[in-house]
């Protein structure tokens, strides 16, 4: 009986190791983990080869949106939420750009709090780091992609990762880049961008309960046409 219990515990550990990512996280390898598209809106499409989810104007129109909702989450300590994302458009800087918005929906509230928003198109994957204040309430993360102007506008998410503790700085000298390094080719040039999520890539609302200076890192990772990141460069 005891041995059986130990074996089960070992198996559970192995399973946890295989899944690897903490609750509130998803690498979009084969599934969208606990994140589901909200039925009333466009679906986020999983690209299994590229390991990302996206919504684009090949199957939807300008102004339409896709909404992704996490399972119930808890953050009894300050936590760090990182998002690897990319917004693209065929038409330069359109007056009506695509938007990627991240909201927090607390269990006892009937409205969503906008925590972060980005609208600048880029040639690279970008990493946004957001500190989440500890709370005793359960909440869900809601990620909304709104398609803007452009024949080929698209919004893609490569990874969502929620970890306990404040966001650490992504620092190559300490051999880590926000914990994302393992998924990418080690023979690449890594540069750490000094930008802040409050720069031109994002718009932060003033009225929210979270720490006002959310994170401080914004990285850009170049990738090939197939969507596989090949290098990292500072975001502008
Ligand atoms: C956050 O954590 C601190 C320290 O543990 C605690 O004093 C505070 O009440 C917590 N805040 C919330 C909203 O749970």
- Containing 5, the helix (H) or strand (E) segment is helix 2-19
Mean pLDDT along residues 38-44: 96
Measured from CB, residues less than 6 Å from any atom of ligand 1 are: 134-136
Residue 116 Cα to ligand 1 middle (Å): 22
Task: Report residue 119 as tokens.
Answer: 């609208």
pLDDT in tens, 154-205: 999 999 999 999 887 765 555 456 655 444 443 333 333 333 333 333 333 3
Nearest CA to ligand 1 atom 14: 135
Three-point CA angle 125, 141, 73, nearest 5°: 120
Nearest CA to ligand 1 atom 12: 135
Nearest CA to ligand 1 atom 1: 134
Task: Report residue 188 as tokens.
Answer: 């690449």
**Is-above-0.85 flag for pTM?**
no
Nearest CA to ligand 1 atom 6: 134
pLDDT in tens, 64-105: 999 999 999 999 999 999 999 999 988 777 788 999 999 999
Q: What is the distance, to the nearest Å, from the Cα of residue 148 to the centroid of all Cα atoms in its chain?
A: 19
Number of H helices, E strands in the chain: 1, 13
Residue 74 Cα to ligand 1 middle (Å): 13
Q: Return the higher-pLDDT residue of 122 and 2.
A: 122
Q: Return the higher-pLDDT residue of 118 and 127.
A: 118
Largest CA distance in the chain: 67
How much is the CA Rg of the chain, to the nearest whole Å? 18
pLDDT in tens, 120-165: 888 888 889 899 999 999 999 999 999 998 778 999 999 999 999 9
Residue partners of 62: CB distance under 8 A and separation at least 6: 96, 147, 148, 149, 150, 153
pLDDT at 90: 83
């Amino acid at each position: 009986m005891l041995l059986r219990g130990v074996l089960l515990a070992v198996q559970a550990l192995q399973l946890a190791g295989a899944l690897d990512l903490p609750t509130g996280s998803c690498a979009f390898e084969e599934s969208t983990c606990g994140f589901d598209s909200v039925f009333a809106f466009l679906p986020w499409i999983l690209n299994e080869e590229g390991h990302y989810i996206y919504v684009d104007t090949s199957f939807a129109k300008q102004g339409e949106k896709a909404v992704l909702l996490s399972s119930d989450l808890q953050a009894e300590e300050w936590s760090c939420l990182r998002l690897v994302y990319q917004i693209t458009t065929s038409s330069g800087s359109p007056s009506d750009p695509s938007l990627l918005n991240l909201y927090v929906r607390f269990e006892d509230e009937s409205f969503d709090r906008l925590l972060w928003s980005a609208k600048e198109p880029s040639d690279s994957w970008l990493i946004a780091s957001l500190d989440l204040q500890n709370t005793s309430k359960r909440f869900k993360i809601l990620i909304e992609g709104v398609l803007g102007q452009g024949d080929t506008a698209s919004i893609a998410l490569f990874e969502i990762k929620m970890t306990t503790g404040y966001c650490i700085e992504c620092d190559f000298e300490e051999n880590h880049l926000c914990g994302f390094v393992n998924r990418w080719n080690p023979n690449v040039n890594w540069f750490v961008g000094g930008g802040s999520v409050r720069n031109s890539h994002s718009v932060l609302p003033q009225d929210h309960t979270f720490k006002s200076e959310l994170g401080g890192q914004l990285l850009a990772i170049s990738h090939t046409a197939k969507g596989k990141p090949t290098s990292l460069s500072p975001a502008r």
